[in-house]
Each structure stands twice: as structure tokens, then as C-alpha cells.
Amino acid sequence: MTNYFIVPGLGNSGPDHWQTHFENSGDNFVRINQMDWDTPASADWVKNIDEALSGYDLSTVVLIGHSLGCTAIANWAKQTQKIIKGALLVAPSDLEAPRYDFPTVGFDHVPLNKINFKTTVVASTNDEWVSMERAMFFARNWGSELINIGDAGHINADSGYGKWPVGLEILKSLG
């Protein structure tokens, strides 16, 4: 059985977000909660991911990141060098873009190290938080498969991505 761990971005994922729908779709989905969703510290998020996975056979683990959660997963992979079954990285925010001015600690740059497990990046052509060129750059550096889903905004509830059956199919292809 695959164990799915949801890693939301800034502000957490609300009740209409696809991550919440994924979480409610089965018993083997767990949301990794953070102490501070609005002014996050990378070290805390990485530690919380690592602690959430302790006790699990890592070969059964798939992480599901959205936005800043993708960066947290990339940081976790870089810092721990642990190998899991895979990760779905949806709409990774470009922390170096001029308009990204959220109060974060340690999330200054997106890590560009190759991730040592299977990853899929899902990106949109009109995401206000990451250009398609930057999403492609991240995917290339991480060694990820890239799926371009067209004009889908930030691939969140505001963009109409509540129940997202195609996303669930992409996720199932990882595990």
C-alpha cells in the first residue's frame, strides 16, 4: 500500500482545495501540519516532514506538494538524502520572482539539486507565482517529469481545482 503525505503551501489548503479532496479520498492520505502556515520557517517545515514520515517504510511514501510545499519537499530531499517512492510537485512557487514577497525564513531560493527519487512537476502556463519557463527549469534540475496542464492559474481552489480527478490519476501513476 502507498502512503500519501500532503504538504500544502502558504496558508494551508482550504476545504475546496484539491489537496483536501485528495486527503478525504482515502485512509492512506495524511496532511503534514505546520506550526506556522503564514510566516513559515523552512527548517521547521523540513523537520515536520521528516517526523511525519518516521515509522513508515519510505519505499511506500509519496509526498504531494503544492506551491511552497514543493520547495519544502525539495529542501527535505536535499537535506536528508532519504529516498521515497516519489513526489507530486504541483505549481512550485518561484521564490526568487520579484512579486514573491511573503515573510518566510529559509525559503529564499528554490533548491536546484537533483532529487534522488521519482518526481513529477505539474505546472500551468498562466500561474501568477511561477512562469512556465521557471517550472521547466525546476523540473529539469530536480530530474522531474513535467506535465503542462495549460491555462490553470496556480492550480488551486481559486483556479477551479477542487476535485481534480486528473490530478489524482497523475498521483496514482507515482504510486
Give CA–CA dist 66/92, Å, rounded: 6
**C-beta atoms surrounding 88 within 10 Å:** 30
Q: Which residue has the higher pLDDT, 108 or 132?
A: 132
Q: Say if residue 105's pLDDT is above 90.
A: no
Q: Say if residue 175's pLDDT is above 80.
A: no
Grid coordinates given for 21: 479532496
Average pLDDT value for residue range 71-90? 97
- How many Cα atoms within 13 Å fall on the side-chain side of residue 164? 25
Q: Say if residue 98's pLDDT is above 80.
A: no
Average pLDDT value for residue range 26-39? 92
Q: Say if residue 152's pLDDT is above 90.
A: yes
Phi, psi for residue 66 in degrees, rounded to 5: -130, 135
Who's near 151: CB < 8 A, 6+ residues apart?
A: 124, 125, 126
Average pLDDT value for residue range 101-106? 81
CATH number of the domain bearing residue 71:
3.40.50.1820
Average pLDDT value for residue range 12-30? 94
State the residue range of the domain holding 68. Answer: 6-32+39-174
How much of the chain is helix, strand and coil, in % rounded to 5? 35, 15, 50
Q: Is residue 14 part of a domain?
A: yes
Q: Is residue 132 part of a domain?
A: yes
Dump pLDDT digits (tens) for 41-75: 999 999 999 999 999 999 999 999 999 999 999 99
What's the total number of domains in the chain?
A: 1
Quote the DSSP letter at residue 122.
E
Tell me how many degrees the CA angle 163-134-63 measures, rounded to the nearest 5: 45
pTM of this structure? 0.96
Q: Is residue 62 part of a domain?
A: yes
Query: First and final CA of the chain: distance in angstroms?
Result: 9
pLDDT for res 87: 98
Q: Is residue 119 part of a domain?
A: yes
Quote the DSSP letter at residue 87.
E
pLDDT for res 127: 95
Q: Is residue 106 part of a domain?
A: yes
Residues facing residue 64 across a β-bridge: 6, 88
Who's near 109: CB < 8 A, 6+ residues apart?
A: 95, 96
pLDDT for res 103: 80
pLDDT for res 102: 80
Q: Is residue 93 part of a domain?
A: yes
Q: Is residue 1 part of a domain?
A: no
pLDDT for res 138: 98
- The overall average pLDDT reported for the chain is 94
